[in-house]
Amino acid sequence: MIDVPNGLIRELSLDFKAQFGRSPSLLVFAPGRINVIGEHIDYNDGYVCPAAIDKFMGFAIGPANGELSLITALDLNEEFQCDANDTFHPEKTHWTNYFKGVLSQFSTENIAPFQLCFKSTIPGGAGLSSSAALSCGFAYALNEWTKAGKSKKELALIGQRTEHEFAGVNCGLMDQFATVFGQKNHLLLMDCQDLSFSYVPADFEPYTFLLIDSKVKHSLADSAYNQRRREVEKAKELLKSTFTSVHSFRDVNETQLEQIKAEIGDVSHKRASFVMEEIQRVSDAMKSIEDKRFEHLGSLLNATHRGLSEMYEVSCAELDFLHDQALACTGVLGARMMGGGFGGCLLILIHQDDVQAAVTQLSKQYLAKFGIESAAYPVKIGQGIQHMNWHEQV
Ligand code: GLA
């Protein structure tokens, strides 16, 4: 039995039937993710600590009548019809790019024409990785559909290549791994150098994680993300060519970074310092979680927020405000902006009895300051991608 709300399973099946006049053959559910700590270091030799959450991109798929395949975006009320075995090229920011990117990586398979519809319960633009759920979820569905036999790791890499080549975002692999490999009630501790990972029980009692969605997404987020990557890579390349002992950011010490400061400039220096500190913080955080020293974990989250805001410069006024106000709420041990940045969610570690009061307080203060209604999502850590065949329907 899969761990997805029955309501969503039923809704998606009925939507498919309404669209295409028959029942689907297969349903796939790809979750969004949180990341406890380890931000912007999945493409910087770091360790990251994400987890899948109980919000999903759901896909229903079945055979098409003619030669062409049809994809319906239920939330947008838009369709995309194509020959799935065609050659695809990216178009300017459009949801179909995620499908084209995935299809182009199945070009060695003979894809039988299909009808597919999809819908999401992952809030868009909130930094909860709805795009990784979209590309990896479709890759998973197509893998089942074509019986291509690709591994979960290959599906995650397909999702990442889709972002790079069709969406123009040079992301790391954290989001794709979280949606593919997530495990209920566990964090995924991922080594982004060799892509190995282990599961860590997510037991924070009596504390819990709460997300406050700032509901802003600043428009230059994607280009700024790619720019951060270039700035930090400039530092890494020089470190590697200057010091033979340096193969990755894990091998660098502060003295070495100081020695190349003049050559890389202040900006790249700040970015690299953040990366080195964040790599260390993840390792400290893992010890705090193991020893249940949650106050210490909270202080590490705060340090990550300051680093992301002041050194990596990916926060924004709205998130900084929410962060400051969150720390003044009763029961809060720590908080930080989460994900790529420039908007999206604040992740808060808070005593479970104080959640409601904090949500009320923060939404009031945020509305008064920015005139924006925030949203609050209590975090439930769920399972990675799951599927069910139609005959298993509840
Ligand atoms: C986005 C990217 C990830 C990661 C985070 C920041 O979510 O897709 O690869 O870099 O930002 O940690």
Instruction: Tell me what pLDDT residue 392 has.
Output: 66
Q: Domain residue spans in the chain? A: 6-201+382-392
Instruction: Tell me what pLDDT residue 394 has.
Output: 47
The 10s digit of each residue's pLDDT in 285-342 is 999 999 999 999 999 999 999 999 999 999 999 999 999 999 999 999 999 999 999 9
Residues of the chain with pLDDT under 50: 394
The 10s digit of each residue's pLDDT in 329-342 is 999 999 999 999 99
pTM, entire model: 0.97
Active-site annotation holds for 83: no
| β-bridge mates for residue 78, sequence order | 73
Active-site residue identified among 15, 45, 54, 175: 175
Residues ≥6 apart with Cβ < 8 Å to 84: 69, 103, 111, 113, 114
**How far is the centre of ligand 1, averaged over its atoms, from the C-alpha of 7 (Å)?**
30
CA distance 319 to 66: 49
CATH code of 6-201+382-392, in short, is: 3.30.230.10
| β-bridge mates for residue 119, sequence order | 58
Ligand 1 contact via 42 beta carbon (within 6 Å): yes
Instruction: Tell me what pLDDT residue 393 has.
Output: 59
Apex 28 CA angle, 23 and 33, nearest 5:
150
**How far is the centre of ligand 1, averaged over its atoms, from the C-alpha of 170 (Å)?**
9
CA distance 259 to 242: 10
| β-bridge mates for residue 81, sequence order | 70
